[in-house]
Chains A and B, each alone.
Chain A
Amino acid sequence: MSGKTLYDKIWDTHLVKQRADGTALIYIDRHLIHEVTSPQAFEGLRLAGRTPWRTGANLAVPDHNIPTTSDERRQGLAGIKDPVSKIQVKTLNENCKEFNILELEMNDLRQGIVHVVGPEQGATLPGMTIVCGDSHTSTHGALGALAHGIGTSEVEHVLATQCLMQKKMKNMLVRVNGALNLGVTAKDVVLAIIGEIGTAGGTGYTIEFAGKAIRSLSIEGRMTVCNMAIEAGARAGLIAVDEKTLEYIQGRPFAPHGELWDKAAEAWKCLASDPDARFDRVVELSAEVIEPQVTWGTSPEMVAPVSGSIPDPMTESDETKRVNIEQALHYMGLRGGTPIQDIQLDCVFIGSCTNSRIEDLREAAQVVAGKKVADSVELAMVVPGSGLVKQQAEAEGLHEIFIKAGMEWREPGCSMCLAMNADQLGEGKHCASTSNRNFEGRQGFGGRTHLVSPVMAAAAAIHGHFVDIRELNN
Chain B
Amino acid sequence: MKRFIVEKGLVLPLDRANVDTDFIIPKQFLKSIKRSGFGVNLFDEHRYLDKGEPDSDNSQRPVNPDFVLNQPRYKGCSILLTRDNFGCGSSREHAPWALEDYGFRAIIAPSYADIFFNNCFKNGLLPIVLNRETVDQLFREVEDTDGYELEIDLNGQTIIRPNGSVLEFSVDEFRKNCLINGLDDIGLTLEDAGDIHDFESKWREQSPWYFNPPKMT
Contacts and interface: CB of A to CB of B under 8 A. Distances in A.
Interface range on chain B: under 10, 10 to 19, 20 to 34, or 35 or more?
Answer: 20 to 34
Nearest to B100: A47
Contacts of B208: 256, 260
Contacts of B186: 48, 50, 156-157, 160-161
Contact of A128 (B33, B35, B210): B210
A379 interface: no
A162 B200 CA distance: 9
A27 B196 contact: yes
A387 interface: no
Given A27-B200, A260-B208, A260-B212, A43 B35 contact: yes
Given A16-B196, A16-B199, A48-B1, A264 B209 contact: yes
Nearest to B189: A161
Contact of B190 (A27, A121, A160): A160
A163 B189 contact: yes
Contacts of B203: 13-14, 27
Given A40-B34, A123-B214, A267 B207 contact: yes
A253 B217 contact: yes
B185 A157 contact: yes
A140 to B, nearest CB: 14
Nearest to B199: A16
Interface stretch (A83-91, A231-239, A334-342, A422-430): A83-91
B121 to A, nearest CB: 14
A134 B217 CA distance: 28
Interface in A260-319: 260-261, 263-264, 267
Contacts of B36: 43, 47
B135 to A, nearest CB: 31
A81 interface: no
A144 interface: no
Contacts of A87: 33
A39 B33 contact: yes
Contacts of A260: 208-209, 212
A178 B197 CA distance: 46
A172 B33 CA distance: 38
Contacts of A212: none
Interface residues of A, number: 47
A253 B208 CA distance: 15
Contacts of B1: 48
A162 B196 contact: yes
A125 B33 contact: no
Given A48-B1, A88-B33, A165 B213 contact: no
B211 A56 contact: yes
A161 B190 contact: yes
A17 interface: yes
B172 interface: no
A157 B186 CA distance: 6
Given A25-B189, A157-B189, A121 B214 contact: yes
B34 to A, nearest CB: 5
B205 to A, nearest CB: 12
A330 interface: no
A54 B186 CA distance: 15
Contacts of B210: 29-30, 125, 127-128
Contact of A127 (B35, B190, B207): B207
A254 interface: yes
A201 interface: no
B34 A253 contact: no
Q: Which 3 A-B pairs have CB atoms at the shortest separation, nearest pair first?
A: A39-B33, A256-B209, A264-B209
Given A56-B213, A162-B200, 16 more contacts: A13-B203, A17-B195, A25-B196, A27-B199, A56-B211, A123-B214, A157-B185, A160-B190, A161-B190, A161-B193, A163-B196, A253-B216, A254-B214, A256-B208, A256-B212, A257-B215
Interface of A: 13-14, 16-17, 25, 27, 29-30, 39-40, 43-44, 47-48, 50, 53-54, 56, 84, 87-88, 91, 102, 121-123, 125, 127-128, 153, 156-157, 160-163, 165, 253-257, 260-261, 263-264, 267
